[in-house]
Structure 1
């Protein structure tokens, strides 16, 4: 028993924690930043003011994680973000293909607690910044509501990944809130007053079919949505969760300090929506449905944006400008919403896509006036317009990873973030990022410590692609234009053939297109157009484009819409090959073509996008000579995903025991081996609500082993599903040869490998 007499004053329990890096904010940017920094050797303190990790992705909000892949509804091929966010999304797809947000909570907690270098504080809110001087933070004060403890958090480096920017705000870091004028940064898309300056919050609900009649009695505060919501007829009994992202409010309020007021208004909407669905009589199918969950905190889109040494703006995105200090990328559309949200009579979003990925420079990831403050997530240095694209979670996570490697480099050098802009340091930062799996468009990894660069690499076989397997042809109607993306590395496009069926005599139009931007996937240049006369019945057409190419690149072999034609598809899938379609994806404002308004500063172009598996088979094309030869040179070219070519060694499908061998003239001591496999960077791995047809990507090598020159087994792996495999041998091996033996993922998918790197 504890008995305390009355006292005039009592103090909270206090604890001081000192680490190398303090990250405030446990959303996806903070989580990925903490994991990355910990693996770089930093002692990391991750502070989260909620009971779970994940921020808007967590079970408290339940928004799916998306980024450059944009629901597979844009022209950004093989664009899913790499590194830790890729690791998390691939694992979530493997362990949680149903998209259960509670399982995602578990995975994030598991990932963080596996890192011994991370100290995690949940339910802990920062409320004060301690300054060493006017432009430097020395510590933070925070309070945990669950253990009634006050913390003082000390470190030489800090990162604000808190969404609202609590550390930046309290430290005096320069920030912006609201939209810039069109003239301020020369942004034609900057909104006028009627559209509004801020994006609002959203609150979601989940429903469940109980199998028996359920009544619902609305609370007194429920809104009459038929009177208040202009788009109330868009509600239905089947959609719930973040498919109702457009239930948004607060864009004309203070999205930091008015959050509780905004939440209450959204609760009024949510319960009013459910009252409408259950009790209006318009949805008899909802009779057995119950309201299973309603969000307790709203998902925030926009509040403060902090100023770095560069403010990313509209032209950076649309023109895909190159930055020498690029450390990350984005690819979501410029996605702006009317400030009145669900109460607006305008379209709930205004999405405009760029033709491809845009770079994010390092200068956007630290405060311009607080010397030791990094920025990550949605608060990085961008304009309101550019924020429309950078705010999404996978992009935010990517900036967190970039920040973390920069922080590790700063710690090793004993310097502040801005110093890394010096050329030598920036080169080192980009190299270290690439080693973690952080793809940076236009950058290739050259690591002088990688022993594989001095080896001679041979393979048991290599794919010489002349066409897809046609043993199990599938015919599908050409109701939308279809194309096959083909990597051409042989200098010329040979003649090709395709099996087709016609229900009557007709004309089929075939085109060969390319992208005006090397490495891009917008087919805006027509290199050849041919009209082919078809008679009723089945035949094989031949197209000879007679095209000579001055560099390796992808070409689009297009067949335009014709309802009287079916074309043949193959069930074979190969790394770096994908079919695309000029269809519609309403989820990202894709109507087949983006028709830009005059003076908007964005481009007009067609969308050619893949279909989700189990659809999306490759067109059953055959070529009269090889069009692509997969050599072992791709294993060390420094690019670990398809870009202007597949960048992968691919085994011949008929090779019973595929392998690659690295040989050296003198014995090498090897302790660590990095292997990069194909987990389909083109697949958008939405983390919640949506389901996925596979738990392991069909291109991914699941079984492999590593042997030395005597054939001794050094390592073997069963059940692999991850992209980056890092093998750390218990004891270094000294050998003149390493052989990596892999199994084909399936009879329809030949084994492939993006890269192999070896370190002592």
Structure 2
């Protein structure tokens, strides 16, 4: 066996999404980084070997999609992949190659695939000196030394080898008083899954299961226990087994049992299911996974243990470095061997049940301290092995969230090395880590851009034009900002939307007053109806409190018999004297009245969302997108001012934070920054709209977001004229960094947007200008050109 020794600043073990983002982030910050992964492709559960599509906060919250390195990868994959996204089992090698391509092109990054960590070597009892890893098929052992180690192995292999404390199983109710915890602690964990994929052959195709496959004969096992066949092309998350097997030590036994079940389930679909067998007659089994996708094993104890109480309360942490927003998704121990599937599925995915109210959460912040080992001085972690209770893991474990954790610890690790800060003291430098994350395109719900090196913050922003919000209704034309497929657009035009629950529409404001507002309603009854209406202040776009404040105004709308898609007017008469703020959001709420329909607009107004009351004083996103409900507002609101591009936020939150040009004006629209004194600019960072509103699963093959800028020019005022200093012709990414060939001394800078991917308006969330280049600017400009 050959022994090969290597030495790095940062060593990341595990190349799933968390580990991959950690390694790329550390390398981009200039740290010499090594990534060790025990599989032939990156991505972990998201890879083509396992095929779980990444989920995250945008599944439940409008404009909550994760950004940063993960966003770059997902945008790149969609731009080049011919395959449609399905829930499970669809992933092909285009996704693997998107990750591989980024890894190969990242300076300072060395990686070893097919390489498993076998031993942890301690320098002393509180510091890891090196890890030993074996390259499969190469008869080579690596001894990899590092200054900072990051455990993203999922099973906590490095932390366990280093002697760290870890937990396995479920805490009892009495330990943290978590409402999601059982009365008694146990070793129960969520199970592992494998998926399958089928192919339509265009002709009847028989299937005969092997004798060793599980035989299913009872429809109740599926239809009465929450195991739903939402697709016959691929699936299913509920092909899951853990207990009574151990998710670490019994992984091979679990794989075999899952294979037996997967074949048996396909046999049931093809040959026995009265509802499915005709639909599946022409389908042939194309692929069955043989690497179980794990949900839970060791949880390494860190400087802070996050609980589901933190999630529910949206605790604000001073060292917030990531965010989550998936529901508290705790699968039933035993999976296929249990009496029912995961609870939400078992109750038919009710959106207003007691269970739904208890588990709907976010967006919430995640602290750095839960990603730092309490026992070893130079060890951090990201992924499903972080310092959280079993109940909190139900939400933080999803891959889009773990990718954010990974980028955070990668940046933190690089800062630790470069500034010689002990890992266990990094939380004291949270502000620096946070500002670096924001500069790299990430988002933190409770942290604002506060980088005093950003010259744009000293400028005055103006623009060629700015859009106004007049409202929208069913008569509007869908521009697919809600990513609605053509076959779905007619459904939105004709769908029935009774007011079974209180419903609210966020409206961005910016006109010092609201004289009147109208809503498009239908009375489906044989008598006149009354609907109570309210205007309330909200803190931000995810302020889901049913009654966040005393109403600014309230009335009863009269909806006469026979009204169909009729605009009902309300003379509101709100001004700053009656409590109307100058910027931000208000929410227009209509109370429940099932005899009345409040129609959706057949479009999505950027930066606005909608929600409905789910019970217990809480609202949740309306329908599957939180799109715009019909309303008209007088006067039109100026909520897309150019100053939004230097507001300190790069997505809708406390306001739209978006400059958007007048859609009636031709493109060639510009945003301008002007300084009192000459500034020297070397780097320009631009964040365009798009890839935020809905989750990745809604995006079509070869996708280019219509809101995203395609062609643009950066111009500087030099020698009394505008001179182009950079040009892009084929952009489709949202976060772009441009390092100029040489510094430019100017008092004025313009970004001229010449083309988008379909939106008639030019738009920008944020512009930053720096006199020096950042550590990873050269890489990122190259990687997304």
Per-residue CA deviation, residues 555-592 of structure 1 (Å, 9 max, x unaligned), is: 333456777766666555443124x364xxxxxxxxx7
User: Contact 1:634 / 1:649 at 8 angstroms: preserved in 2?
Assistant: yes
Give the match's secondary structure for 1:198: coil
Tell me which residue corresponds to 1:465.
469
Q: Which moved more, 1:252-261 or 1:388-397?
A: 252-261
Tell me which residue corresponds to 1:98.
84
Does 1:204 find its partner at 2:195?
yes
| Distance in 2 separating the partners of 1:569 and 1:521 | 20
Does 1:175 find its partner at 2:170?
no
User: Contact 2:541 / 2:652 at 8 angstroms: preserved in 1?
Assistant: no
Per-residue CA deviation, residues 65-118 of structure 1 (Å, 9 max, x unaligned), is: 011122xxx3x3311112111222222222236135221111111121111221
Tell me which residue corresponds to 1:524.
546
Give the match's secondary structure for 1:128: strand
CA distance 1:204–1:581, shift in 2 (3 Å): same
Q: Which moved more, 1:640-649 or 1:544-553?
A: 544-553
CA distance 1:229–1:49, shift in 2 (3 Å): farther
| Distance in 2 separating the partners of 1:302 and 1:173 | 17
| Distance in 2 separating the partners of 1:695 and 1:265 | 38
What is the deviation of 1:387?
0.6
Q: Which moved more, 1:455-464 or 1:316-325?
A: 455-464
| Distance in 1 separating the partners of 2:230 and 2:599 | 35
CA distance 1:266–1:518, shift in 2 (3 Å): same
CA distance 1:192–1:94, shift in 2 (3 Å): farther
Among 122, 142, 147, which residue is 1:151 paired with?
142
Give the match's secondary structure for 1:271: helix
What is the deviation of 1:175?
0.7
| Distance in 1 separating the partners of 2:476 and 2:318 | 48
Tell me which residue corresponds to 1:707.
715
Does 1:86 find its partner at 2:71?
yes
User: Contact 1:575 / 1:752 at 8 angstroms: preserved in 2?
Assistant: no
| Distance in 1 separating the partners of 2:126 and 2:368 | 20
Among 258, 270, 275, which residue is 1:266 paired with?
258
User: Contact 1:356 / 1:522 at 8 angstroms: preserved in 2?
Assistant: no
Tell me which residue corresponds to 1:655.
665
Mapping 1:707-746, distance limit 5 Å? 707-709=715-717, 710-743=721-754, 745=756
Per-residue CA deviation, residues 344-372 of structure 1 (Å, 9 max, x unaligned), is: 12342356434531111110011101100
Does 1:759 find its partner at 2:767?
no
Tell me which residue corresponds to 2:486.
none
Tell me which residue corresponds to 1:381.
387
Mapping 1:671-690, distance limit 5 Å? 671-686=682-697
Per-residue CA deviation, residues 464-511 of structure 1 (Å, 9 max, x unaligned), is: 333348974695454344653211244554411245555666426253
| Distance in 1 separating the partners of 2:537 and 2:704 | 31
| Distance in 1 separating the partners of 2:542 and 2:127 | 42
Tell me which residue corresponds to 1:284.
278
Does 1:190 find its partner at 2:194?
no
Mapping 1:587-598, distance limit 5 Å? 593=614
Tell me which residue corresponds to 1:77.
62
Mapping 1:31-430, distance limit 5 Å? 31-70=20-59, 74=60, 76-96=61-81, 98-99=84-85, 100-102=90-92, 103-192=94-183, 197-226=188-217, 230-231=221-222, 239-240=231-232, 243-280=235-272, 282=274, 283-350=277-344, 352-422=358-428, 425-430=429-434
TM-score, structure 1 as length reference: 0.88
What is the deviation of 1:713?
1.4
Per-residue CA deviation, residues 185-244 of structure 1 (Å, 9 max, x unaligned), is: 121211246997210111111111212232222222101123698336766777257741
How many pairs does the alignment contain?
A: 719
> Can you give the 5+ residue segments of structure 1 that lack an aligned partner in the other structure?
1-11, 583-591, 595-602
TM-score, structure 2 as length reference: 0.86
Per-residue CA deviation, residues 122-165 of structure 1 (Å, 9 max, x unaligned), is: 10000001110011101010001132211111111110001001
Among 585, 597, 606, which residue is 1:554 paired with?
585
Give the match's secondary structure for 2:3: strand
Among 415, 438, 443, which residue is 1:439 paired with?
443
| Distance in 2 separating the partners of 1:159 and 1:607 | 36
User: Contact 1:180 / 1:383 at 8 angstroms: preserved in 2?
Assistant: yes
CA distance 1:256–1:237, shift in 2 (3 Å): closer
CA distance 1:567–1:250, shift in 2 (3 Å): closer
What is the deviation of 1:280?
2.4
Tell me which residue corresponds to 1:588.
none
Does 1:692 find its partner at 2:705?
no
| Distance in 2 separating the partners of 1:518 and 1:691 | 26
| Distance in 1 separating the partners of 2:769 and 2:130 | 40
Tell me which residue corresponds to 2:505.
484
Q: Which moved more, 1:280-289 or 1:197-206?
A: 280-289
| Distance in 2 separating the partners of 1:487 and 1:281 | 50
Per-residue CA deviation, residues 542-561 of structure 1 (Å, 9 max, x unaligned), is: 12344544644433334567
User: Contact 1:510 / 1:557 at 8 angstroms: preserved in 2?
Assistant: no
Among 613, 635, 639, which residue is 1:625 paired with?
635
Give the match's secondary structure for 2:281: helix
Q: Which moved more, 1:279-288 or 1:322-331?
A: 279-288
| Distance in 2 separating the partners of 1:501 and 1:127 | 66
Tell me which residue corresponds to 2:652.
642
CA distance 1:529–1:45, shift in 2 (3 Å): farther
